[in-house]
Structure 1
Amino acid sequence: MASLGIHSTVWRFVLTIMMIVAILGAKLSDAKQEKMSGLRMNVIDQCWRLNPEWRRHRTQLATCSVGYAGKMTNNIGKDVVHYKVTDPSDDPINPKLGTLRYGASVIQGKVWITFQRDMRIRLARPLLISSFTTIDARGVDVHIAHDACLMIYKETNVIIHGLRIHHCKPQGPGMVMGGAGKVISLGQVDGDAIRLVSAAKIWIDHNTLYRCADGLLDVTRGSTDVTVSNNWFRDQDKVMLLGHDDGYVRDQNMKVTVVYNHFGPNCNQRMPRIRHGYAHVANNLYQGWTQYAIGGSMEPSLKSEANLFIAPTSGNKEVTWRKGSNGDEEAFEFHSVRDVFENGASFTVTKGGRVPNPNYNAEQGFKVADASCVRPLTISAGALRCSKTSRC
C-alpha cells in the first residue's frame, strides 16, 4: 500500500510538471506567433493590431499614424465624445441622432464614431465631416455606396478608417448639413469616394475604395499634411488626384504621404497624379495599370521609394507619365529609389537634380522597408475583417 502511495505521488508530480510545460509551451508558441505576425505587419498595424484588447482601447489608433498627417493625438483625450451609429438612414439637412451624419457633422469637438453593427449607408448628399472627427469602422462591415460619398471641406484633424466606399455618384447643387453643424449650400460634386478641399492633417487608413463615377480620392485646393495608408484601391479609371488643377498654384505647398496601399487590379491611371506639390510614395503594391501608375504636371516633386511595380501583361510597361510645363518635361522631379520592377515595368526618372526628401519631423517619420517586403506589408490593405472575439 505504501508503494502504491509513493507511485501515486510521483505520478501526480509528473502530471503537474507536464501541465506546466504545456502551459509554458503554449505561451511561448503564442509569443512566437505574435512576433511572426509583427514581422508581417507594417509599422502602423503593429502599433495597434497586436493588442488583443484593441476594442477596449480604440483611441490608441490615433497614436499609430505616420507620414505628413503626423500623430492624430488632437483627436483624443478626456473630452472626446464616443458616438455610436445605430441607424443607417440619412437626412442631409436634419440628421437624426444615431445616424452617421449626426455624429460627423452635427456634433462639434472631438468625436470618435463607431458602428453598432454591419450596415449599408446610402447618403442622400455628400457627408461633410467636421474637424477632430474619427470614423472608426473596425469590427463591422460598413459600406457607403450607390449615391453621395465623403467630403472634408476646410476642416482639420480627421481620421477615416475601415470603410468600404464604392459606386459613388455625381450630385447636383443643393443644401446639406456642413461640417460646422450649419446647413450650407453645396455646389456640384463629381462622384469621388473621398474629396479633400482646403483640408489639413487628414489620415485615411484601411479603407476599400472602388467603382466610383469620378475618382477614389481627391486632395485639392490647398489641402496638405495628408497620409494615405493601408487602403485597397481597385476597379477604377482615375484613382488618386493630388492637386486641384494646373492653375491652382496654392497646391505648391501640398504634402502627401502614400504608403502601404494596394493599387489594383483593374486600375487605369492616377496612382497618384500630382500637380504642383510633393508626394512621398513608399512601400505600395502596384498590380498593373493601363495608361500609367504615377503621373504629374506643373512641376511636382515625387520620391518613389521601395514600391513594387508589377507591369500589365500587355500594353504600357512604363510606370510614369508627365505633362510638360512650357515644353520642358524635366522641370519637375520624379525620382525612383530602391523600387522593384516586375514583368517588364520601367520608371523614367528625372535627369540630374537632387532626390526630393520628405523631411519628416519626429512624429511623422518612419523607416521605409525594403521593396522585397511589400507583399506581406500590404497583404491586409483595405477594410479589415476582424474576428468577433479579439483579432483584427
Structure 2
Amino acid sequence: MTNNIGENLIHYKVTDPSDDPISPKPGTLRYGASVIQGKVWITFKTDMRISLTKPLLVSSFTAIDGRGVDIHIAGNACLMIYKATNVIIHGLRIHHCRAQGGGMVMGGEGKVISVSHVDGDAIRLVTASKIWIDHNTLYNCEDGLLDVTRGSTDVTVSNNWFREQDKVMLLGHDDGFVRDRNMKVTVVYNHFGPNCNQRMPRIRHGYAHVANNLYQGWVQYAIGGSMGPSLKSEANLFIAPRSGSKEVTWRKNSSVNGGGGGWEFHSVRDEFENGASFTETIGGRVPKPNYNHQQRFVVADAKSVRSLTISSGALRCTKTSRC
C-alpha cells in the first residue's frame, strides 16, 4: 500500500467522537475520511466510542489508523468503502452495527450523495480495489462482519479477530453478479471464533487465497461458496466443534463431492483437529494467487498458526509496547 504514503500526505487527528452525516465538523472521523481529499492518514487523539448516524463512506487513499488508542465504532451504522481505492482500515473495534434506512450522506469524494438501505455490516466494500483490512476486532453485527461485493478486488484481510457472529465474511455480491469472477482476495493470519457460525468466508464466482488462519470451531461450515469459485486453502488450522458438523466446506448447487461445475476447492498443508475434514475438488489444478514480486509472502507451516494469530485483532499499543 505504498500509494498511501509519501509526498503530499495529510496527517489528520480525530478529536471529536460526534457525527453529522451531511455536514461533518472538522475534528470528526467523517470529516477526515470523507471530506478531505488526497492522501490522508487518520489517527485519534484519545480513546473513543463513535456512533455513526449513517454509513461512513471512506475516500480513496485514506488510512484509518487506530493504533495507540481504544477506538470503538459501535451501536449504529458502520463503514462502507464505495468506489474507492487504496484504503487501509487498521486497529479498530467495530461491533453491534445495525441496519439503516437510505438517506443523504457525505460521500467519499466530499459531495453529499444518496445511499440506499444497508444491512448492518461492520465493513462493506462496493466496487472497491486495493483495500487492506488489518488488525481489527469485529463482532456481533446485525448482518455480517465483512462484505466484498460488486466487482471489488485486490483485497487483503489480515490479522483480524472475527468472533460472536452468524455470517462472518461474504466475498461476491450475489449469484447473478458475474463481474465478481475477477475478484481476488487474500485472507491471512486471522482468528475466527469463538462462536462463529458460517462464511469464513463464503465465496461467489471469484478467487480466494486463505492461509495461516485459526478456525476455532463453526456451526454450519467454515468455508463455502457458490457459482464456481476458486479457493486455495493453505496451512490453516481447523479445529472442529465438539459436536455437530466436522466438515470445513459447504457448496451450493455443486455436484457430488464438489466435483465439476467449475469449482476449485483445494486444501494444501492444512492442519485438522478434533475430527475436522475438508472435501476437496476431485482433480483439477490448485489455483494460484498469481501475486507479483511485491505481494508474495511465505506461508508458514500450519503448526505455527496459533503463534501467528495470537495477536490478531486490534492491538493495544503503548510507548513501551510498540506496534
Residue 33 of structure 2, aligned match among 104, 107, 126:
104
Q: Give, in angstroms, the shift of residue 327 of structure 1.
A: 8.4
Aligned equivalent of 1:383:
314
Residue 288 of structure 2, aligned match among 357, 361, 385:
357
8 A Cα contact 1:323 1:329, kept in partner: no
8 A Cα contact 1:203 1:228, kept in partner: yes
Find the aligned partners of 1:325 and 1:294 in 2 and give their Cα distance: 14
1:79-228 equivalences under 5 Å are: 79-228=8-157
Q: CA RMSD in A?
A: 1.1
8 A Cα contact 2:258 2:282, kept in partner: no
Q: Give, in angstroms, the shift of residue 324 of structure 1.
A: 2.0
Runs of 4+ in 1 over 6 A off after TM superposition: none
8 A Cα contact 2:168 2:199, kept in partner: yes
Aligned equivalent of 1:280:
209
Q: Does 1:317 align with 2:317?
A: no
Aligned equivalent of 1:337:
268
Secondary structure of 1:218's counterpart equals strand
Secondary structure of 1:215's counterpart equals coil
Residue 368 of structure 1, aligned match among 293, 299, 321:
299
8 A Cα contact 2:257 2:279, kept in partner: no
Q: Give, in angstroms, the shift of residue 389 of structure 1.
A: 3.4
Instruction: Percent identity, please.
Output: 82
| TM-score, normalised with respect to structure 1 | 0.81
Aligned equivalent of 2:186:
257
| Structure 2 segments unaligned to the other structure (5+ residues) | none
Q: Give, in angstroms, the shift of residue 390 of structure 1.
A: 4.4
8 A Cα contact 2:257 2:282, kept in partner: no
Residue 293 of structure 1, aligned match among 214, 222, 243:
222
| Structure 1 segments unaligned to the other structure (5+ residues) | 1-71
State which structure, 1 or 2, has the greater radius of gyration over its C-alpha atoms.
1
Secondary structure of 2:168's counterpart equals strand
8 A Cα contact 2:238 2:248, kept in partner: yes
Q: Which structure's residues are more often strand, by fraction? A: 2
